[in-house]
Amino acid sequence: MEYIKTIISNLRLRDAIDIGIVAYAYYKLYMIMRETRAKQLIKGIAFIIIISGLASTLKLFTLSWILNNTLQVGLIALIIVFQPELRKALEYIGRTTFISFSIFEGDDKKDEKIIKDITTACSALSNQRIGALMVFEQKTGLHDFIESGVVIDSEISSGLLINIFIPNTPLHDGAVIIKDYRIRAASCFLPLTESNHLSQDIGTRHRAAIGVTERSDAIAVIVSEETGYISYANEGRLYRNIQLEELKELLKNIYTHEEKQRLFERWWHKR
């Protein structure tokens, strides 16, 4: 008890800030790596470290030498194995901003029209049980995925979105990628999620939506051809069977953020 009191009495404000930053960094790292293969790999590494410590304590020299050298060589292997997780972490840091864009106002009429067109298209596709997948690019570029499909670069309209996903048409199979206020490409191939925690009834379209949001900050909207339910994926999580009002709120958040971000960038470059 006295030892704890001594530590607390000697704790400076600088030390508290230092501990808080490290704790926050570890927490964010855990949030990024949870439900990925990195979590299992970390458990394996921790197990090896514990066994190595026991071997050293019990003076099992051969086992201790093997484990210590395995850990040293393994650092290089870890960089390769953890490459997707490291990339995700760095992209997260790159997307993080400490500047508020609330001082800017966007084009409300244009936003309302696009939100109405996308909502109308999703509603029509849902009523007819036509499968659809729309991906909204945010800060992380989706150029590689755009190149995998057919470049359209067209204004957004409900009629065009509905026609793209009509079954047995050339562009219906795959995802539509929307950037800013334009449909950039259709029939795009997306990576499937590697998560093992999903329900067995989740199909390929939903898995692709989760996959692209695991690798970027994109938001994906899905219409199920089996049930007609509208769902969306964000940050590797799937939110199923949302109502049209929820979809409108989601789209409002997307386009309000995009417009403010774009205006800020224009202002910043003019400085």
Q: What is the pLDDT, as a whole number, of residue 98?
A: 45
- In the predicted model, what is the mean pLDDT of residues 154-176? 93
pLDDT tens digits, 35-88 = 555 566 667 777 777 888 888 888 888 888 887 777 766 667 666 666 666 666
The pLDDT of residue 139 is above 60: yes
Judgement on whether residues 193 and 83 belong to the same structural domain of the protein:
no
Sign of CA dihedral 132, 184, 99, 101: negative
227 lies in the same domain as 251 = yes
Percent of the chain with pLDDT over 90: 37
Instruction: Give the count of domains, the chain.
Output: 2
* pLDDT, position 104: 40
Q: Are 232 and 242 in contact (CB under 8 A)?
A: yes
Domain end point (choices 37, 61, 95): 95
Please give the angle made by the CA atoms of 175, 249 and 161, to the nearest 5 degrees: 30
Inter-CA distances, 256 with 109, 128, 161, 165, Å: 12, 30, 21, 26
Residues 137, 89 share a domain: no
Look at residue 202 and tell me whether its pLDDT is greater than 60: yes
What stretch of H or E contains 185? strand 182-188
Model confidence, pTM: 0.63
Determine the Cα–Cα distance for residues 225 and 61; give it in Å rounded to an integer.
Answer: 62
Instruction: Kindly state the average pLDDT of the residues 109-128.
Output: 92
Examine the domain organization and report whether 112 and 233 are in the same domain: yes
The answer to whether position 234 is within a domain reads: yes
SS3 for 61-90 is HHHHHHHHHHHHHHHHHHHHHCHHHHHHHH
Q: Please check whether residue 102 lies inside any domain of the structure.
A: no
Residue 267, pLDDT score:
40
Whats the size of the chain, residue-wise? 271
91, two tokens: 């992209």
Q: Are 156 and 243 in the same domain?
A: yes
Last residue of a domain, one of 41, 67, 95: 95
Domain that holds residue 226: 108-270
Alpha-carbon distance of 10 to 13, in angstroms, equals 10
The answer on 223 and 125 residing in a single domain is: yes
pLDDT attached to residue 36 = 53
Query: Is residue 156 domain-shared with residue 81, that is, in the same domain?
Result: no
Q: Cα 143–145–150 angle (5° rounding)? A: 95
Residue 195 in this model has a pLDDT that exceeds 70: yes
Whether 7 and 40 share a structural domain:
yes
